[in-house]
Structure 1
Amino acid sequence: MKISADGTRIAYIAPGAGPSTALVIGNLADGSEKPVMRMDGNPFVLRSCGWSGINRLVCRSDAVDRVAGMLVPLSRLVALDADGANVKSLSQRTMAGETLGLNQFDGNVIDWLRGDDDTVLTTRNVVAQQQTGYLIDRGREGMGVVRQDTRTLKITQVEAPLASVAGYISDGLGKVRIRWIERRNSGGKLDGITVVQYRTAASDTWKAFSEISDGKPGMVPLAVDPSLDVAYALQKLDGRDALYRVKLDGSLAAELVHADPAVDVDNIVTIGRGGRVIGVTFVTDKREVIYFDPDYKRLQAGLAKAIPNLPLIDFVSASADEKKLILHAGSDIDPGRYYLYDRTTRQLAELMPVRPELRGLSLAPMQSVSFKAADGTSIPAYLTLPPGKTSMKGLPAIVMPHGGPGSRDEWGFGDVGWFSQFFAQRGFAVLQPQFRGSTGYGDNWMVGNGFRGWRKAIGDVNDGGRWLLSQGVEAGKLAIVGWSYGGYAALQSNVLDPDLFKAVVSVAPVTDLDLMKTTADQYTNSALVARFLGSGALAQEASPARHADAFKAPVLMFHGDKDLNVDINQARAMNQALKAAGKSTSLIVYRELDHYLDDSAIRTDLLTRSDEFLRKSLGL
């Protein structure tokens, strides 16, 4: 949700039927709302919208589509008036027959500027064309930056396109200060080394900031503060990410802002059109925010008292003068509500709940717990019991490993709470282990990653199941459910211990690491994928499709056939291997959907089928 620069209107993206999305404009004066643009999800869906002027917006839409037999990601930028009129594409302009390659991405807004003249700073991916003189630097291709009037489409080049550039950071005042370059080998494939460069305030010359690779973490810039002439960057400290202020005056002198002795700092908190940095955030048992802007520190403390039952408070948007703020507040048992806070009148007004259909439904509290792995390591986890239950004794239970594996779960409803809360509503205890291989706990917790260190990761997942049994869950009522890497873990857990889980639900799973690498060969990140997954005997041992004969539990899988993250052939290979081994298996394929299955009817079908399968398999 975004508030206009003058603080009079809001814009947000709402879900429609199936995979469709709509841009809705709300008038804060009279409370009226109007959908002004829709996308049907075939293939594009709205992802984000912001105000480029008092009456003008820029929206980004994303898609996964088939091009020349390959699945490729696409993005497009359009500008439109607040009433839905004057829709204009912000894509690279071409004439028929000129473009020599596919224009996958229109770019992103990297600076919203003042918000009163319809102009923004955007990255632009320039595709080589046959003639010269039609577009800025037509003879060059790659990512550049333009200042664009979203109403007239007039363009001023800010950064010339360069093929190796992968991104830019502006200072919020229209000056590009940082860029990062992804190195490629002679075959055009990424080699895993990213070079970060910066400029001093008085120069256009690029200087070295850091170099980032697997063996050399380097400083990762997040934002630029022009008032202090610093970049905020993540850098390793004692094996964990910490936040630093790094001077951009040529010295690169770094000052520690915040570090936590147990977890990684994972992001900064920003506010306003220029993305002014006001705090730092990280996750312990719950997400924490430390505000170093005194005004917002006081404001957050006051809001915490005003809405004590919604402790996860985020400032999501501000008017140009920051007098009116949109904030989101939620918890584990509330998906959250949007509020408008007027700093002049000091009034707080609820705008809308995120999931109004859940109003009045008692959701299940999410507890932070821990259990011992086989080697004695304490594994953090989240436990969700059915509403009204205080004990696991006699309950059916689900171990639910998260995706990634470069990820972790968090306390709160968040973006994925619908998945665990559904099963809790259906009477299951749900355990979400933060197994080794999860992010957020420092380098030592990564054990390579969840694939190369699969025995530790999957061992922790299985030990979570054993802990549930020790707490009173009946042996015949224990299942495992996961999505993406979690779907992989749900399958691979049966390779380590075929007798532990009595039913397996796996959504969009990786099942064969060598097949994963073969699929990646047609993309520029193939070498990175191969390095991440491992090879030889490791890849064979880590692939559940190679060990179908070990399975005893019935398996139900779901997969979209336009999944760019994990190819549909992964689930098909697993299903075929299980059938060949005489095992109980079923694969549900959802057509024209990607990795996330963003379709309300399809997600309802997935949940319904999963629940029926688990009840039948566990004898409930």
Structure 2
Amino acid sequence: MKNALFASTGVLLALAVPHHASAQELSAEQIAGRFGARATVLDMSLSPSGDKVAYISSDNATTEILYVVDLKGDGVPKAVTSLTDNNADLSYCDWANEASLICVAHGIVKVDGGIPATFSRAFSVGADGSKPRVLTADRSSRAYGYQQDGGTILALDVEGEENRILMTRQFLPEVTTGTRLAKEDEGLGVEEVDIDSNRRRLVERPDEEAVRYVADDNGALRLKVRRPRDSSGQLTGEVEYFYRAPDTSRWTRFSGDLEGFVPVAVDAASNVAYGFQTVDGFDALFRVALDGSNRREQVIARDDVDIDRLIRIGRQRRVVGASFATEKRQVEYLDPEMAELAAQLQAALPGKPLINIVDASADEQTLLIIASSDVDPGMSYLLERESKQLSPLLPLRDPLVDMQMAQMKPVTFPAADGTQIPGYLTIPAGRSEAGPAIVLPHGGPGSRDEWGFDWLVQFFAARGYAVLQPNFRGSTGYGDAWFGRNGFQEWRTAVGDVNDAGRWLVSEGIADPEQLGIAGWSYGGYAALQSQVLDPELYQAVVAIAPVTDLGTLVDEARDYTNFQVVKRFIGEGPHVREGSPANFADRFSAPVILFHGTEDINVRDSQSERMEDRLKAAGANVRYVQYKGLDHYLNDGRVRGNMLLEIDQFLGEHLRK
């Protein structure tokens, strides 16, 4: 690729890249395996000099592998370390300095007699695989409870020292019987840690109700988030935000006009906090002075969608803009140079993809970029700003590199009450008449679908199905009124919109009414099942992955956790709890159902699918339940996902291919 703006050096990292056949040359099993495969690049970061890249990949099962590439050397990825625990994932790694990386793993463990709980652990490792060292503080043998939070990295360079980091620490109270040495400190605090010696210095005393801290770009602690608890230790649902002025240890709460301000980052040079606050029903980006004046300035706002992401780059996580999603995600840059650069990149790369600057060298002259689109799973690039050399590095999903993808088009369709519902329509290439189709509601319900690559959508399209993803009322991103009371409390509206999506596909001549199915994951699986309660004749097949099936039980299952009251309020009380539970209305189902669930799902217990299966069988309905042992809500195993896609393909083929 050569153009007037950038010259490509063409230095694709040396990998054993196999030849990929087109979908027409592959069997259903091979197609399912490729679309179900875990991403080749799960996380990626750039060293301070810009001379090395680290990325996390996998064995396509449950092992994650950290690779390091010396871009000034042979360019060959070298495995540094790996995580083989079935119940934990290597989530991300950042460069502490040119010779060392800091990584964080997340997982699930059983505590207190079998209750599943999340945990995290932080560790450092040399870029050559040497000197692995656990950074999460040791738990005292006298401590009460299990140490779930292994620490969050707040700053990579403290006072200019590359080997010193700032990270949070969960302090546990200790048994005091028979000793005067027991520590009674409890809660989340902050320590400065020397990653070479693992020596630690307390920077912020623990706070029982603190859940997050934020450092500025100089490595100074500036923000604290607290979630108060009641007398029984349950979260109340309230959130309190505090800031610290420069050169003081006193915390000041955001209050008054800033009561609803959610700070995210602090710019040390201008002494302001960037964050979000709702204006006329939509989230907008503000900056607030941290000099005690509470002076607030609106930075970016819209009257149709929420401003929902802060764009930050480099080791200091410098704020350069914010983004929002209309028909496609857009970025509004505060930094004019970054705005010009992003526009040039989008124009230079084929297909005008989405541009994501994922990391930068210490001087921000070398950038790590990912470009992707609806028909492109993504390619990573290295950009040298001074020479304007753009070098392709690694595809994000190597098994799909030359698979043909179907275009995703933003659409709107009318709900029964006339409201226009936004969504995304993907039709298999070359199709011009009514045929098999899938309505695919998203999870959440506090979420939304966006334009871009989606492995599940593209698998369905590769197998000949048109796919419509409705952003039903109850979705986020479109303001408070659109979200309403959420898709559980107002399930009739949300699921009604989902069913209207199916009716629109038929009315537009896209779907054959005898070949119309519905599929979903998590809340999407719930909506797929509940669609039968509202209209049993609309869909001819139902696919539900990790679905909620009983709202009352969902609340009961949260009793073992501190967020019980939060979950209870989110679901609400009243007739909708029973009426909005598909397990209570199995006798209404006329379409065949297939269920999938992991046994270690902490988001939605697998008992939800078991209950649905039992009720449907008792009602004489056509149901099959596929259970995956040892996996959580996300089924992060490429072999399992491939198996699931093949099972879905066979199920849909049996009931929709007539």
What TM-score, normalized to structure 1? 0.96
Cα distance 1:617–1:350, how it changes in 2: closer, same or farther (>3 A)?
Answer: same
2:237 is paired with a residue whose SS is strand
Cα pair 2:175 2:182 within 8 Å, conserved:
no
Q: Distance in 2 between matches of 1:145 and 1:381?
A: 43
Out of 361, 366, 374, the position equivalent to 2:416 is 374
Q: Distance in 1 between matches of 2:253 and 2:650?
A: 57
Q: Choose which of 103, 121, 128 in structure 2 pairs with 1:59.
A: 103
1:492 aligns with 2:535: no
Deviation string, structure 1 residues 344-395 (Cα, Å, up to 9, x no partner): 2111100111111112211010000110000000000100011233x4x321
Structure 2 gaps, min length 5: 1-43
Q: Aligned pair 1:322/2:367, yes or no?
A: no
Give CA-to-partner distance per residue, 1:67-89, whole Å, 9 cap, x none.
Answer: 22101001100111011111111
What letter is aligned with 2:251? W
Aligned to 1:226: 268
2:279 to 237, 254, 267: 237
Contact 1:189 1:527 in 2 (8 A): yes
Q: Which secondary structure state, in structure 2, belongs to the residue aligned with residue 610 of structure 1?
A: helix
Q: CA deviation at 1:20?
A: 1.3
Instruction: Measure the CA separation in 2 of the matches of 1:98 and 1:163.
Output: 18
**In the aligned structure 2, how far is the partner of 1:137 from the partner of 1:237?**
49
After superposition, give the CA deviation of every residue in 1:469-494 in whole Å (9 maximum; x if it has no partner).
Answer: 10122111000000000000000000
Change (3 A) 1:70 1:210: farther
**More divergent stretch after superposition (356-365 vs 473-482):** 356-365
Residue pair 2:635, 2:641 contacting (<8 A) in 1 also = yes
Q: Does 1:557 align with 2:601?
A: no
- Give the letter aligned to residue 117 of structure 1: E
Counterpart in 1 of 2:58?
A: 15
**SS of the residue 1:184 aligns to:** coil
Question: How many angstroms does 1:117 deviate by?
Answer: 2.5
Change in 2 beyond 3 A, CA 1:173/1:371: same
The correspondence of residues 51-90 of structure 1 with structure 2, limited to 5 A, is: 51-67=95-111, 68-90=113-135
- Worse-matched range after superposition: 307-316 or 462-471: 307-316
After the TM superposition, list the runs of 4 or more consecutive aligned residues in structure 1 that deviate by more than 3 angstroms: none
Is the Cα contact below 8 Å between 2:595 and 2:609 reproduced in 1? Answer: yes
Alignment match, 2:218: 173
Is the Cα–Cα contact under 8 Å of residues 384 and 424 in structure 1 kept in the other structure? yes
Contact 2:245 2:291 in 1 (8 A): yes
Kept after mapping to 2: 8 A contact 1:21/1:41: no
SS in 1 for 2:236: strand
* Identical aligned residues as a percent: 45
Q: 1:211 to 1:71 in 2, by over 3 A?
A: farther
Tell me how far apart the structure 2 counterparts of residues 138 and 154 of structure 1 sit (CA, whole Å).
19
Q: Give the equivalent residue in structure 1 for 2:451.
A: 411
Shift of 1:211: 8.9
Matches within 5 A, 1:570-609: 570-609=608-647
Residue in 2 that maps onto 1:456: 493
CA offsets 1:113-162 (integer angstroms, 9 cap, x no match): 26862221111111223479x9x993201111111111210111111111
Q: Distance in 1 between matches of 2:117 and 2:339?
A: 43
Query: Which of 233, 242, 245 matches 1:200?
Result: 245
Q: Report 1:121-136 matches (<5 A).
A: 121-130=166-175
1:5 aligns with 48
Counterparts of 2:352 and 2:133 in 1: how far apart (Å)? 40
Deviates more, 1:332-341 or 1:106-115: 106-115
**Secondary structure of 1:538's aligned partner:** helix
**Alpha carbons 2:46, 2:361 under 8 Å: kept:** yes
Structure 1: stretches of 5+ with no match in the other structure: none
1:154 to 192, 195, 199: 199
Q: Which residue does 2:475 correspond to in 1?
A: 438
Amino acid at match of 2:595: M
* Aligned match of 2:351: 309
Structure 1 distance, partners of 2:95, 2:175, is 35
For the pair 1:611 / 2:649, whether they are aligned, the reply is: yes
CA contact (8 A) 1:193 1:211 kept: no
Contact conserved, 1:511 with 1:574, CA < 8 A, in 2?
A: yes
Does 2:559 match 1:521? yes
Q: Within 5 Å, which residues of 2 pair with 1:90-105? A: 90-95=135-140, 97-105=141-149
Read off the aligned partner of 1:491 and give its amino acid letter.
L
Q: Is the 8 A contact 1:480 1:501 kept in 2?
A: yes
Q: Is the 8 A contact 2:436 2:657 kept in 1?
A: no
2:188/2:210 contact within 8 Å kept = yes
Counterparts of 1:63 and 1:70, CA distance in 2: 14
- Counterpart CA distance in 1 for 2:64 and 2:345 is 31
> Is the partner of 1:232 in helix, strand or coil?
strand
Structure 1 vs Structure 2 CA RMSD: 1.8
Q: 1:113–1:172: 8 Å Cα contact kept in structure 2?
A: no
RCO higher in 1 or 2 (8 Å CA, sep ≥ 6)? Answer: 2
Normalising by structure 2, report the TM-score.
0.90
Are residue 534 (structure 1) and residue 572 (structure 2) matched? yes
Mapped partners of 2:228, 2:256: distance in 1: 11
Q: CA deviation at 1:421?
A: 0.6
**Equivalent position of 1:25 in the other structure:** 68
User: Judging changes above 3 Å, is the alpha-carbon distance between structure 1 residues 77 and 137 closer, same or farther for their aligned structure 2 residues?
Assistant: farther
SS in 1 for 2:435: coil
Contact 1:169/1:176 (<8 A) preserved: yes
CA distance in 2, matches of 1:264, 1:582: 45
Matched, 1:42 2:86: yes
CA contact (8 A) 1:137 1:160 kept: no
Give 1:338-417 correspondences, 5 Å limit. 338-389=380-431, 391=432, 393-413=433-453, 417=454
- Give the counterpart letter for 2:84 in structure 1: D
2:156–2:162: 8 Å Cα contact kept in structure 1? no
> How far, CA to CA, are the matches of 2:350 and 2:294 in structure 1?
41
1:521 shift after superposition: 0.6
CA contact 2:142–2:182 (8 Å) conserved in 1: no
Is 1:196–1:211's contact at 8 Å kept on the other side of the alignment? no
Alpha-carbon separation, structure 2, partners of 1:48 and 1:164:
26
**Alignment length (residue pairs):** 610
State the one-letter code of the partner of 2:618.
A
Query: For residue 563 of structure 2, what is the amino acid of its counterpart?
Result: N
CA deviation digits over 1:199-247, x for unaligned, max 9? 11132111111499xxx97111111111111111101111000001111
